[in-house]
Structure 1
Amino acid sequence: MEPSLRALGRFDPDRARARLLDGFEPAACTVVEAEGRIVGFYVLEDRGADLFLSHLYIAHEVAGQGLGATAMKRIVSEAGGRPIRLGALKGSAANRFYQRHGFVEERRTEFDVYYVRD
């Protein structure tokens, strides 16, 4: 997320680290692997009626190889038909990624766009 945050003039490594730690639930974390090494992860929180994707990260050096799309297929499968919600930073390329995978905008805040995929 650093490039997106820098583009908005909002990159602060301490805030980024705190956001990650605040939303990180180890039991809800799934690693993404490629060629036997960890290249990313996602955190999918079960909230009963829906799921919340609080993190989805793929290492820059392997971005664009379909690993995010593969992870998203797995996330959708895990949802078992329940809605999936998430937030993305305004101006981030992640917004296009989520829209391509069937997420539609629910609301906006000053810095984020929130999506749902039914």
Structure 2
Amino acid sequence: MNISFATTTQSDAETLVAIRIAAMRESLERIGRFDPRRARERFLASFDPALCRFIAVDGVQAGFILIRPLADHWLLDHLYILPEHQGKGIGAAVLRDVFANADAHRMPIRLSALRCSDSNRFYRRYGFIQTDEAEWDVYYVRQPSAPI
């Protein structure tokens, strides 16, 4: 499996929205909150193409990631893998790359996940610790690993 990352531009926004909606649809439907219009608006309101990267596997677009570097941590704001590419180790491989970079900079990684989403189990499996929760979201942090 050859994973690569490609930059995004403002013109990719609708493609990214479609990936986000496809990846989140099942989880949102499970809790009765699937609304493609709201999902689109929420994403576009904070989309920064300079921070976003497409994820390709063997040349095929499989998802995207958006990390916001903040003063005291990195916010993993979006990590979506299209349903037909899930369960193949792509998310884990992407996280390993993110972890290597965050560890090199000694930066914690923070994120939130929809309460009933399978992503909660995924993030816990890769070392994220729950720090808080709200009505719809669960919040996590992963501290940087000690240098070897």
Question: Do they superpose with TM above 0.5?
Answer: yes
Please say if 1:29 is aligned against 2:56: no
Match of 2:79 in 1: 56
Please say if 1:82 is aligned against 2:107: yes
Larger Rg: 2
Runs of 4+ in 1 over 3 A off after TM superposition: none
Distance in 2, Cα, partners of 1:40 & 1:51: 19
Q: 1:20 offset after TM fit, Å?
A: 1.6
Please say if 1:4 is aligned against 2:24: no
Q: Which amino acid aligns with 2:112?
A: G
Of the three residues 95, 112, 118, the one matched with 1:93 is 118
Question: Contact between 1:23 and 1:54, CA under 8 Å: does it hold in 2?
Answer: no
Q: 1:81 offset after TM fit, Å?
A: 2.4
Q: 1:26 offset after TM fit, Å?
A: 0.9
Unaligned runs of 5+ in 2: 1-23, 144-148
Distance in 2, Cα, partners of 1:22 & 1:100: 30
Q: 1:75 offset after TM fit, Å?
A: 1.1
Q: Deviations over 1:69-118 (max 9, x none)?
A: 00111111221321000000001000000001110011000000000000
Of the three residues 44, 48, 70, the one matched with 2:93 is 70
- Secondary structure of the residue aligned to 1:31 is strand
Q: 1:23 offset after TM fit, Å?
A: 3.2
Q: How many residues align?
A: 118
Unaligned runs of 5+ in 1: none
Match of 2:6 in 1: none
The percent identity for this pair of structures is 44
Match of 1:110 in 2: 135
Q: Deviations over 1:23-75 (max 9, x none)?
A: 32211112211121211110000002110011001111111110000011111
